[in-house]
Amino acid sequence: MKDFEYQCQTKLIFGKNTEEKVGEETAKHSKRILLHYGKNSIKESGLYDKVIKSLKKNNIYFVELSGVVPNPRVELVREGIELCRKEKLDFILAVGGGSVIDSAKAIAAGINYSGDVWDFFIGKAVCEKAIPIGTVLTIPAAGSETSKGTVITNGGKKLSFSTNILRPVFSILNPELTYTLPNYQTACGVTDMFAHVVERYFTNTPHVDLTDKLCEATFRSIMLNAPLVIKNPKDYDLRAEIMWNGTIAHNGILGVGREEDWASHRMEHELSAAYDIAHGAGLAIMIPAWMKFVSKKNPSKFVQFARNVLDIKTSSEEEAINEAINKVENFFKEIGMPTRLSDIKVNETEITKLAKACAANQNQIGGYVTLKEKEILEIYRLAL
Amino acid sequence: MKDFEYQCQTKLIFGKNTEEKVGEETAKHSKRILLHYGKNSIKESGLYDKVIKSLKKNNIYFVELSGVVPNPRVELVREGIELCRKEKLDFILAVGGGSVIDSAKAIAAGINYSGDVWDFFIGKAVCEKAIPIGTVLTIPAAGSETSKGTVITNGGKKLSFSTNILRPVFSILNPELTYTLPNYQTACGVTDMFAHVVERYFTNTPHVDLTDKLCEATFRSIMLNAPLVIKNPKDYDLRAEIMWNGTIAHNGILGVGREEDWASHRMEHELSAAYDIAHGAGLAIMIPAWMKFVSKKNPSKFVQFARNVLDIKTSSEEEAINEAINKVENFFKEIGMPTRLSDIKVNETEITKLAKACAANQNQIGGYVTLKEKEILEIYRLAL
């Protein structure tokens, strides 16, 4: 096990009608806030009205900034920073999914920085101060409700940075708010949380027994509950399982004491930056391809995955691995995800550009198996 | 799943030589502290000198209060409260195991309260303010390094209370500090962490799939690593697994969204209050007896436990349960724990008193199966 520091200070308020507590929780931190959200969905669902009512009841002055899109843009982040400065707002309430929360985190980070917020993403500056944010989560997926990271898109670049001070001070998680998510979006979220476990589980760090077992538990719970929730989208307990899996998958506890990988995420970010597809859909394409490639170079953890997560008994390790990867691909198909680049109309001529761009951002990616441009291209090819 | 709130704000600093950071971490919170510890073991091991050096290097004024014993006493807590008030100390650094940390928490809670600190334990007052505490953990067991609870003994009474503000602001966990723990003490700690999962896992709350699986992962990791660490007490990675299991077992994450039980702990508290035995040893006696009794009344979760934790395939559910309970009892024996009251010289004439005392503190205990004096007595009898 590697040495580590871990602190996840986010207060979680989980359950029915918990969004009604948002004003009370926010008031513990601020009376002048930015209310940040996406487009119309929170208005159509009635969530917007409930949030406003709770804020007003607690005498909180709020300024609205809506318009966050999937793969949230740096332009809106800059607008949010200016707005907070002008209005002297010192707290951001993000109501939405991972994109809204990531956008809120980036705004929170940029307010006390004199340069351009993008500097944090390109490593030109280190974020040392951020105003606090709170969240009301509507899409279980990105885990941004407790994570320390934010992912923002700037033109064709989709980059991330993370620091513990970006973790929300509170997050409100009501599974009922996810009843109306279309199945496709639910499945994208499920794929994202599955990927967050993949990126941590596949490691070369030895002696991480408990954390391995916690990862395996989370994989199993996601794979059990996701197909059920697609069939029963208004089942409270299934929605609750998925929501809680999304948080556990990415609050960092599954990654302590070990090297993480993140190659699938990096390769996916090129996809969603170039084609503006949903992050989860891109991951459902990249993960099986990544697994096919790296399991050949470094099979050991895949054998463990086959045995402990998927109960594959086949004595041949190679067969067990192939069966495991097929099961993962079939799981994504079962919940309605694309699993090939051809499903999203990306063809062979384009993957060279993707591989080049992916290798350009960082010279090499991955940890379980490190990948340079040549290997990245091979993985994109396996995904065709 | 039940609604819940969860926040564990403790910063964990885990790994080799991490005790050298204690001064730096403490200085973020205070420059006038109480240094609280047990008897001579931290001096013999050299830990005391390292802590002092780090505190001095960071210009921290400290007053020492040593003498914490297993089953920590309220008298020393009161002394600590007076000392902190007199010396205007506003932070407590606990260096030791669960007893030292629990004692520190009780002192921290009592300082800003005008009445007697025992009021919090008997429910006469609610603790709303506490000064912060930090810890350097030397015994993985009680989980007090991140938990919100404290257990204190007052005469023949051993009671607890908990509130989120008692969670340490930081905890330093260096597995190397546990190399010199005698096997018996290691095993007591292991039993305590195993018990912390038992108290959460055995619940009637339906639809807690992920949390069940996380509990099962923790059970499996404890049962795998504990016998190994007894044989290899200076293996860093095994010590690290045990230490991390102790934290995960009791930071609260395994108990979210579900009713907890705590009957075994309550019954054990009577034992250790009356006979001053180690808490872990008492639990190794009470848990198998509790399992034998409640599994007859409410078998369902025991079948799941047998299948998922112990891989018992027997088709008969009754046989599977019996085999599972035998395996748990044998696990405790294997690591060197007593598993019967006769092992600690408690005989039949004494259990009536124990049952009466246990039922007197709270009229009924438990959640998976609720127990009154009559049932409690039956369980003590099964433990003879």
For B209, which of A4, A12, A224 is closest by C-beta distance?
A224
d(CA B380, CA B92): 38
Which residue carries 């697609």 as its tokens? A230
CB contact under 8 A, B214 and A210: no
**Interval B257-262 mean pLDDT:** 97
What are the residues whose beta carbons fall under 8 Å from the beta carbon of A85, sequence distance 6 or more?
A111
Closest CA to B325 of B300, B344, B343, B305: B305
pLDDT of B156? 82
CB contact under 8 A, A257 and B14: yes
Which tens digit of pLDDT belongs to each residue from A293-318?
999 999 999 999 999 999 999 999 99
For B5, which of A9, A13, A221 is closest by C-beta distance?
A13
C-alpha separations of A82 from A76, A117, A126, A188 in Å: 10, 11, 20, 32
pLDDT of B363? 79
d(CA B345, CA B276): 12
Q: Evaluate if residue B191 carries a pLDDT over 90.
A: yes
**Interval A368-373 mean pLDDT:** 97
B307 touches chain A (CB under 8 A): no
Q: Evaluate if residue B362 carries a pLDDT over 90.
A: no
Q: Evaluate if residue A360 carries a pLDDT over 90.
A: no
C-alpha separations of B206 from A199, B212, B323 in Å: 30, 10, 25
CB contact under 8 A, B217 and A221: no
Q: Evaluate if residue B181 carries a pLDDT over 90.
A: yes
* DSSP letter (8 states) at residue B257: T
CB contact under 8 A, A209 and B218: no
What are the residues whose beta carbons fall under 8 Å from the beta carbon of A169, sequence distance 6 or more?
A9, A10, A11, A29, A132, A133, A134
pLDDT of A273? 86
Mean pLDDT of all residues in chain B?
A: 97
DSSP codes of every residue in A358-371: HHHHSSSB-SSS-B
pLDDT of B120? 98
- Shortest alpha-carbon distance between residue B207 and chain A (Å): 6
Q: What is the residue type of B116?
A: D
Which tens digit of pLDDT belongs to each residue from A344-357?
999 999 999 999 99
Q: Evaluate if residue A362 carries a pLDDT over 80.
A: no
pLDDT of B326? 98
What are the residues whose beta carbons fall under 8 Å from the beta carbon of A339, sequence distance 6 or more?
A284, A285, A288, A329, A332, A333
Which tens digit of pLDDT belongs to each residue from B122-131?
999 999 999 9
* Residue spans of alpha helices (H) in chain B: 22-27, 41-44, 47-57, 74-87, 98-110, 118-121, 183-201, 209-231, 236-250, 263-275, 279-297, 300-308, 317-334, 348-361, 373-382
Tally of CB atoms within 10 A around A5: 14
Which tens digit of pLDDT belongs to each residue from A176-187?
999 999 999 999
Q: Evaluate if residue B190 carries a pLDDT over 80.
A: yes
Per-residue confidence band for A201, with pLDDT thresholds at 50, 70 and 90? very high
pLDDT of A344? 94
CB contact under 8 A, A1 and B241: yes
Window 84-123 of A, Cβ < 8 Å to B: none
ipTM of the complex: 0.97
Q: Evaluate if residue A291 carries a pLDDT over 80.
A: yes
Task: Kindly state the helix (H) or strand (E) to which residue A146 belongs, with its residue range.
Answer: none
**Interval B72-81 mean pLDDT:** 98
pLDDT of B273? 85
* DSSP letter (8 states) at residue A73: B
* Cα torsion angle, B170, A30, A149, A184, sign: positive
**In chain A, % of residues over pLDDT 90:** 96
**Interval B195-199 mean pLDDT:** 98
Mean pLDDT of all residues in chain A?
A: 97
Mutate to test the interface with A, among B4, B16, B209 (most CBs of A within 10 A): B209
pLDDT of B299? 98
Per-residue confidence band for B339, with pLDDT thresholds at 50, 70 and 90? very high
Q: Which residue of B has its CA nearest to A216?
A: B217
DSSP codes of every residue in B101-166: HHHHHHHHHHTT-SS-THHHHTTSS-------EEEEE-S-SS-TTT-SEEEEEETTEEEEEE-GGG
pLDDT of A128? 96
pLDDT of B106? 98
B248 touches chain A (CB under 8 A): yes
**In chain A, % of residues over pLDDT 70:** 100
pLDDT of B360? 86
Count CB pairs under 8 A between chains A and B: 117
Chain B hits for A224, Cβ within 8 Å: 209
CA dihedral A135, A140, A142, A145 (to 10 degrees): 20
CB contact under 8 A, B240 and A207: yes
- Shortest alpha-carbon distance between residue B10 and chain A (Å): 6
d(CA A59, CA B284): 54
Q: Are B377 and B289 in contact (CB under 8 A)?
A: no
Chain A hits for B248, Cβ within 8 Å: 210, 214, 253
CB contact under 8 A, A244 and B213: no
A179 touches chain B (CB under 8 A): no
- Shortest alpha-carbon distance between residue B237 and chain A (Å): 6
Q: Evaluate if residue A147 carries a pLDDT over 90.
A: yes
Per-residue confidence band for B158, with pLDDT thresholds at 50, 70 and 90? confident
pLDDT of B144? 97
d(CA B381, CA B372): 14
Per-residue confidence band for B230, with pLDDT thresholds at 50, 70 and 90? very high
Which tens digit of pLDDT belongs to each residue from B52-65?
999 999 999 999 99
pLDDT of B40? 87
CB contact under 8 A, B209 and A216: no
- Burial readout A171-189 (b: 16 or more C-beta within 10 A, e: otherwise): bbbbbbbbeebeeebbbbb
d(CA B145, CA A70): 40
CB contact under 8 A, B257 and A237: no
Q: Evaluate if residue B361 carries a pLDDT over 90.
A: no
**In chain B, % of residues over pLDDT 70:** 100
pLDDT of A276? 84
pLDDT of A357? 92
Q: Are A197 and A264 in contact (CB under 8 A)?
A: no
pLDDT of A290? 98
B352 touches chain A (CB under 8 A): no
**Interval A122-147 mean pLDDT:** 97
**Interval B339-358 mean pLDDT:** 95
pLDDT of A40? 87
